[in-house]
Structure 1
């Protein structure tokens, strides 16, 4: 196993523990989960802070989410495609939030590893655009039946998804997809 593969394996073992235990997770717990000795962690990372930085960077990456979105079969009904996409994106956001929260709770605010410069902003914009393109792909088979261009609808859908935690609690995925597809007016009752 190459050094980079070893680091990735350690980070993959650390992420769920970081979500579960917060930054108080020990390197011994991580080593046990990874099936390695604790000293191996310190051969791969200078210290626990460097490992936390690597976990933060991994949590922010969205390449695995894009792969999951690309795997959604386009022959499913639109509601099923969007439900699967919303579930996938929601899980990503939850994991990302939990990791960032745990790292911040440890008193770390991106001092190392997660730069706060223009490059990081560019990466975020690229990730957002790739996510929008993945949703456009899911909408594309139904383009002719939709009232607005799929490019606009992708933005609306993502806005609804990212804003789903409102004042009254979290909106279930099925409700979000239903409102997105059918609006808020009950066709039987009519609107004033």
Structure 2
């Protein structure tokens, strides 16, 4: 029987975090390293070859949940040749999924008694992530700049303001986008 090729420490860390994320979202800080190891298909001692302790695993899970890479890929993959309303609907779906991932992990950790961590405070990386997200949404407006009453930049900022102010009542996103694009007054 041949043994699988070894992983680099970064690959091992990524595998552990990927396996831990759904467990942390479900169990918060009550998750055990034994459960994480089982989910990752590794021995528990392997976790401690790349992480000093469970808190470091939890911190890596927070960082992964907040990482904007996936939502940026999803936003950048939205076809620019489809109607603006469809592009914005896809953008809302991607942004909602990202916020859901973050909320699940952070909420479960807080609910299980993990104190607020400095990593959750405003930081340069958070500001950079927000700027990158804004740029990706701006690109969705740019093909329609000629039809917009506002600049693409203003439309982006207004759209993101509406998106982030929706609160828990998500309503029908098609209605929100229709009012955003065409106003509340009858045509």
Partner of 1:110: 117
Report how far residue 66 of structure 1 moved: 0.8
Measure, in 2, the Cα distance between the counterparts of 1:37 and 1:96. 27
Pairing 1:42-191 to 2, within 5 Å after superposition = 42-105=48-111, 106-110=113-117, 114=119, 116=121, 121-165=123-167, 169-187=169-187
Q: Deviations over 1:138-177 (max 9, x none)?
A: 11111111110010111111111111115xx233322222
Query: Which of 44, 47, 59 lines up with 1:41 in the alignment?
Result: 47
TM-score (norm 1): 0.86
- 4+ residue stretches of structure 1 with deviation over 6 A? none
Measure, in 2, the Cα distance between the counterparts of 1:68 and 1:40. 32
Q: Any conservation in 1 of the 2:28–2:110 contact (CA below 8 Å)?
A: no
Q: Deviations over 1:16-75 (max 9, x none)?
A: 121122222222222222111222112221111110011111111112211111111111
TM-score (norm 2): 0.89
Report how far residue 115 of structure 1 moved: 7.5
Q: Any conservation in 1 of the 2:29–2:109 contact (CA below 8 Å)?
A: yes
Q: Any conservation in 2 of the 1:56–1:103 contact (CA below 8 Å)?
A: no
Q: How many residue pairs were aligned?
A: 180
Report how far residue 123 of structure 1 moved: 1.7
Q: Deviations over 1:97-140 (max 9, x none)?
A: 121122223323215xx275xxx522222111111110110111
Measure, in 1, the Cα distance between the counterparts of 2:37 and 2:172. 36
Q: Pick 1 or 2: higher relative contact order, CA cutoff 8 A, min separation 6.
A: 2
- Name the SS for the 1:76 alignment partner: coil
Gaps of 5+ in 1: 188-192
Measure, in 1, the Cα distance between the counterparts of 2:9 and 2:63. 17
Q: Which moved more, 1:123-132 or 1:134-143?
A: 123-132
